[in-house]
Chain A
């Protein structure tokens, strides 16, 4: 699954550490989500969407099957 988390984070001028702090996860988790190495759970995806004030589907895009 692809996502726009990195762009949204950079728009706000946050570092990965800043975003990790907002989401109460580790910096490695933020990095893994941004690089699409890890797909977050639904609760974490909702948390990300709420933080950036966007819908989940506008942040997370299904990848090629």
Chain B
């Protein structure tokens, strides 16, 4: 498959993630205020649709990757699955023993997917480095640091919206913290890329 299709998948994933953040910030909060069960469920599950699309697009991307990329994807998914298993079982035991509140348990469940993506990305990056590549993004039109920067900007906007429009200071602080962390990650990848480009290849 042409490598350009790879970029198409990346673009689709980024657009879907953008829609996910917008839906999460603008639509999902309506679920708490809704009284009727049908709109309540609709608002509550609205962020799931873009996430399902992201999962499908990632599956397509992996299917169309070459054999070494598929191997690094597999390592990333394996490590992420192991991490999520540990977190799930720890949370499950704590919740069953009433050592964890229902709100905390639901918060853990909501963070499983983002955490899985984070661990998957880190593990895949590590595996790719072991095979002599960087974060496997050198050939991409939109490098990893720019993608992370985009995510940080998006989360920053979401935090501002939460703080100024919705008045959820606590949630805004959490989202802003995520944005800053991702921006720092972006800066690290940008410096690494710059240093790699300065050293002659081969």
Contact = CB atoms under 8 A, between A and B. Distances in A.
Interface residues of A, number: 18
Contacts of B132: 28, 31-32, 35, 37-38
Interface residues of B, number: 19
Given A24-B2, A28-B136, A38 B66 contact: no
Given A28-B136, A38-B68, 14 more contacts: A16-B201, A24-B2, A25-B66, A25-B67, A25-B68, A26-B136, A28-B133, A29-B68, A29-B69, A32-B68, A37-B130, A38-B131, A38-B132, A44-B67
Contact of A27 (B2, B130, B138): B138
Nearest to B3: A26
Contacts of B134: 28
Interface of B: 1-3, 65-69, 128, 130-134, 136, 138-139, 201-202
A8 to B, nearest CB: 14
Judged by DSSP, the binding face of B is: loop
Interface of A: 16-17, 20-21, 24-29, 31-32, 35, 37-38, 40-41, 44
Contacts of A24: 1-3, 66
